[in-house]
Amino acid sequence: MTNRRDFLQTASALAAAGFLPRALPAMPTQLGSIGAEPFRARPCVVASANGLRGVQVAYDQIVAGTDPLDAAIAGVNIQELDPDDQSVGLGGLPNAEGVVQLDASCMHGPTRRAGSVSCIEDIATPSLVAKAVMDYTDHVMLVGPHARRFAIEMGFTPQNLLTDKSRQDWLRWRARLNPNDAWLDYDGNVNIRFHTGTINMNAVTAGGDMASVTTTSGMSWKVPGRVGDSPIIGAGQYCDNTVGAAGSTGRGEANIKACGAFLAVEFMRQGLGPEEALLRVMQRVIAMTEDRLLGPNGRPRFDLQFYALAKDGTFAGATAYEGASFAVCDERGARLEKCAFLFKASERPR
């Protein structure tokens, strides 16, 4: 049995290490206390760099009075419906069998609700399907053929998401799998792309209401059925209306094990600013990474980008290696800003 003194000593040690919340002043809410002024934030939208067009759309809707989740989803819809963007939605790069499988999740701060879909096919806007799961069911996540059936029942129109551009990239990749197979090799100068394209977007209104959404076609040429962090609440995105919101893009397998978006919000709850919170999350990700994915110097062979937005409108982006950017829109307009980082690009293992 643990006595009271041992318990207090253990709790103090855990708190010092960042595992327990420290005592903090009460977080402001939109309503505030009786007789107090309503909480006011700086309206702001933060996203991955491919959301530069979307943050402007979302910001304009927020200042016009649109719900923050509706605004953020309108922002990511731009990429989902763009056939030239091969990271999400229509035109996304397919799995190993040439099938485009999409994932998305969203959270609505004011109602504390969430929705998610994974491995959904033939529906270009999985972010909207995730919101429909949130709005119209008692569930949080639907997957595979059942998610597709639900979307169609909700009025979404199925379509072929594999554009000719993405199909040609998939054919080039497949032709090089085995030199002894029946597929003719393409010219050796053709660059076969491997990426983990995703868009995350987080928004806050002037009243401090928040929302987050992440949508993706996942890792290119993935094993069919693979699920990354994007549809996982607390990994690909997370939102707490009393604290802030966060999300990520990059290697989802690494982020899932650290529950990165949730952890970032929890660090902010403990009083850290968005940038420091994200850098600590990146450190936790690396600490949870298996040796095969680390170089001799202990640096990861992959990268992740994290994005965070606090309830008061302060924001940050962070990554393992220098050079990444993220999109933001506030009263200064839409722009790209540099991510904070842990290591110089030269320290990345080859």
- Beta-carbon contacts of residue 165 (< 8 Å; ≥ 6 apart): 83, 84, 86, 91
Asked if residue 126 has pLDDT above 50, the reply is yes
pLDDT of residue 16: 44
Q: What is the mean pLDDT of residues 282-297?
A: 96
Query: How does pLDDT run across 230-271, given as a tens digit for each residue?
Result: 999 999 999 999 999 999 999 999 999 999 999 999 999 999
Phi and psi torsions of 278, nearest 5°: -70, -40
Residue 41 binned pLDDT confidence (cut-offs 50, 70, 90): confident
Closest by CA position to 240, among listed 122, 113, 85: 113
Asked if residue 225 has pLDDT above 50, the reply is yes
Mean pLDDT over each residue of the chain, to the nearest integer = 88
CB contact at 8 A, 20 and 11: yes
Q: What is the residue whose two structure tokens read 């394209």?
A: 197
Secondary structure of residue 277 in the 3-state scheme: helix
Q: What is the pTM of this model?
A: 0.86
Q: What is the residue whose two structure tokens read 């393992």?
A: 320
Q: Which residue has the higher pLDDT, 65 or 39?
A: 65
Q: What is the mean pLDDT of residues 322-348?
A: 97
Closest by CA position to 39, among listed 205, 245, 269: 205
Q: How far apart are CA 17 and CA 290, in angstroms?
A: 22
Q: Which residue has the higher pLDDT, 15 or 139?
A: 139
Angle at 137 between CA 131 and CA 209, to 5 degrees: 45
Residue 28 binned pLDDT confidence (cut-offs 50, 70, 90): very low
11: number of Cβ within 10 Å: 12
What does 173-198 look like in DSSP terms, one character per residue? HHHTS-TTSSSPPPPTTPPPP----E
Q: What is the dihedral of CA 66, 109, 72, 132, to 10 degrees?
A: -90
Radius of gyration of the chain (CA): 21
Query: How does pLDDT run across 309-318, given as a tens digit for each residue?
Result: 999 999 999 9
* Side chain identity at residue 35, one-letter code: G
Q: Which residue has the higher pLDDT, 188 or 159?
A: 159
Q: How far apart are CA 111 and CA 96, in angstroms?
A: 38
CB contact at 8 A, 25 and 176: no
Return the structure tokens found at 288. 């949870």
Catalytic residues: 198
CB contact at 8 A, 213 and 127: yes
Residue 38 binned pLDDT confidence (cut-offs 50, 70, 90): confident
Closest by CA position to 255, among listed 272, 273, 231: 231
Asked if residue 182 has pLDDT above 80, the reply is no
Topology at the third CATH level for domain 38-347: Glutamine Phosphoribosylpyrophosphate, subunit 1, domain 1 (3.60.20)
- CA 165 to mean position of chain CA atoms: 25
pLDDT of residue 189: 46
Return the structure tokens found at 34. 């009786």
Asked if residue 287 has pLDDT above 80, the reply is yes
Return the structure tokens found at 73. 């989803």
Query: How does pLDDT run across 183-206, given as a tens digit for each residue?
Result: 555 555 445 555 556 999 999 999
Q: How far apart are CA 142 and CA 115, in angstroms?
A: 9
Secondary structure letter of residue 19 according to DSSP: S
Asked if residue 40 has pLDDT above 70, the reply is yes
